[in-house]
Amino acid sequence: MRAVNNLLVLYTGGTIGMLETPQGLAPGGGFEARMRDYLAAHRESPGIRWTLRELSPLLDSANMQQANWLAMCDAIVEAVKKDGHDGILVLHGTDTLAYSAAALSFLLLGLDVPVVLTGSMLPAGAADSDAWSNLCGALSLFESGVENGVHLYFAGQLLHGARASKLRSEAFDAFTALPRYREGQRAEQVPAVLTYCQPRVAVNLAVLPVFPGLQAAHVRALIDSGVKGLVLECYGSGTGPSDDQALLQVLSDARQRGVLMVAISQCTQGSVKFDTYAAGSRLRDAGLVSAGGMTREAALGKLFALLGAGLDVATAQHWFALDLCGERAQ
Ligand code: ASP
């Protein structure tokens, strides 16, 4: 850990910089001037050297897509490799903050700088907003030193970028890293094809919860839409309607057709352990790969990083099963 001396603040939008419009809160530009004014008026604030770059278009993060993850990634790599920044603070909307933090955790593997994402529940201009405490808290972290890798900082908590989820839609402490069970083998070395140097392309990915009433036809329609990777949110320790032969058949056909299907648990604590129940092991036999205790955000971001890099399914499955940055192992 070392103190950061030349920070880039990458402003992507989100409530933190939003302004009132007749349609409701919408992303507003000019955040750099607002931030400089605030810090100048609050002399006790961290004095770290920073510059701000606004990504265009500024987004309500509800509109975040894979292309926006890649644009963030490019801006971060350019800032580090071309402009000499040694730390990055990403200002981002909270709705998909945990998804972006997870995706960037995988997309930026091998980039040896600390990247911290934050945002706020109330706009910086609102009375009693959490914007300035989150922002100044993050600046202080950079000033005192943060480990390399991707983190999410919110309401005084520094969370692992690939383990955080948004759990509350109104409270200031909206994010948590739940005590999901973690085990698994750490990849000894991350190959070049999985580092920040590897270009990625968009991939058709989907997330589907299992629920009483899920039919083979539902899953078939999804697979037929051209999905290349599927995160199936199973019950408990990785079970689903395994008495439904038609459903199992759709899953194994999809696997044969080269769809990478991974299983996470709908429970906020625990993990997928297929062998606990016959209803789980049948899903594994149909071709599902366990994501252990990974979050939905991490499973989706990791599928994107692997399949978006152009890996074939067998290779992607190999790397999915290993821990790449602390997302599934201690
Ligand atoms: N809808 C907003 C966003 O995600 C919510 C927020 O930032 O808190 O951009």
Domains annotated for the chain, with CATH where assigned, are 7-177 (3.40.50.1170), 192-320 (3.40.50.40)
- For residue 243, count other CB atoms closer than 10 A to its CB: 10
180 pLDDT tier (thresholds 50, 70, 90): confident
- For residue 179, count other CB atoms closer than 10 A to its CB: 11
Whole-number pLDDT of residue 193:
94
CA-wise closest residue to 187 among 179, 196, 197, 195: 195
Query: CB–CB of 175/159 below 8 Å?
Result: yes
| % the chain with pLDDT above 90 | 92
Q: State the Cα–Cα distance between residues 38 and 40, nearest whole angstrom.
A: 5
330 pLDDT tier (thresholds 50, 70, 90): low
State yes or no: 83 annotated in a binding site.
Answer: no
Active-site pick, 12, 21, 51, 94: 94
Cα–ligand 1 centroid distance for 95 (angstroms): 5
Query: Which residue has its alpha carbon closest to ligand 1 atom 8?
Result: 94
The better pLDDT of the pair 181, 260 is held by: 260
Query: CB–CB of 16/91 below 8 Å?
Result: yes
pLDDT of 226 > 90? The answer is yes
Cα–ligand 1 centroid distance for 20 (angstroms): 13
329 pLDDT tier (thresholds 50, 70, 90): confident
CB of 119 sitting under 6 A from ligand 1: yes
Q: DSSP 3-state assignment of 323?
A: strand
Please provide residue 216's backbone torsions phi and psi, each rounded to the nearest 5 degrees.
-55, -40
CA-wise closest residue to 306 among 90, 298, 209, 164: 298
The alpha carbon of 153 is separated from its chain's Cα centroid by a whole number of angstroms, namely 13
Task: State the average pLDDT over residues 250-277.
Answer: 94
SS3 labels along 30-79? CHHHHHHHHHHHCCCCCCCCEEEEEEEEEECHHHCCHHHHHHHHHHHHHH
* CA distances in angstroms from 127 to 130, 132, 160, listed in the order given: 9, 11, 30
Whole-number pLDDT of residue 179:
75
pLDDT of 183 > 80? The answer is no
Mutate to test the pocket of ligand 1, among 11, 15, 21 (most ligand atoms within 8 A of CB): 15
Cα–ligand 1 centroid distance for 296 (angstroms): 19
Whole-number pLDDT of residue 118:
98
State yes or no: 140 annotated in a binding site.
Answer: no
Whole-number pLDDT of residue 13:
98
In this predicted model, what pLDDT tens digit does every residue of 235-244 receive, in sequence order?
A: 999 999 999 9
Tokens 């943060």: give the residue.
146
In this predicted model, what pLDDT tens digit does every residue of 282-310 receive, in sequence order?
A: 999 999 999 999 999 999 999 999 999 99
Identify the helix (H) or strand (E) that includes residue 188: none
Cα–ligand 1 centroid distance for 139 (angstroms): 21
Query: CB–CB of 120/129 below 8 Å?
Result: yes
Q: State the Cα–Cα distance between residues 272 and 286, nearest whole angstrom.
A: 15
Q: DSSP 3-state assignment of 87?
A: strand
Task: Tell me, yes or no, if the pTM score tops 0.85.
Answer: yes
Whole-number pLDDT of residue 185:
86
Cα–ligand 1 centroid distance for 14 (angstroms): 5
Partner residues linked to 149 by β-bridges: 114
CB of 172 sitting under 6 A from ligand 1: no
pLDDT of 2 > 90? The answer is no
CB of 174 sitting under 6 A from ligand 1: no
Please provide residue 299's backbone torsions phi and psi, each rounded to the nearest 5 degrees.
-65, -40
Q: Quick check: is 15 catalytic?
A: yes
262 pLDDT tier (thresholds 50, 70, 90): very high
Q: State the Cα–Cα distance between residues 170 and 72, nearest whole angstrom.
A: 26
In this predicted model, what pLDDT tens digit does every residue of 14-73 receive, in sequence order?
A: 999 999 999 999 999 999 999 999 999 999 999 999 999 999 999 999 999 999 999 999
pLDDT of 1 > 90? The answer is no
Whole-number pLDDT of residue 186:
87
313, two tokens: 């399914």
Mutate to test the pocket of ligand 1, among 95, 97, 135 (most ligand atoms within 8 A of CB): 95
In this predicted model, what pLDDT tens digit does every residue of 70-117 receive, in sequence order?
A: 999 999 999 999 999 999 999 999 999 999 999 999 999 999 999 999
Q: State the Cα–Cα distance between residues 228 and 200, nearest whole angstrom.
A: 15
Q: State the Cα–Cα distance between residues 310 and 133, nearest whole angstrom.
A: 41
pLDDT of 181 > 80? The answer is no
Query: Which residue has its alpha carbon closest to ligand 1 atom 3?
Result: 93
State yes or no: 118 annotated in a binding site.
Answer: no
| % the chain with pLDDT above 70 | 100
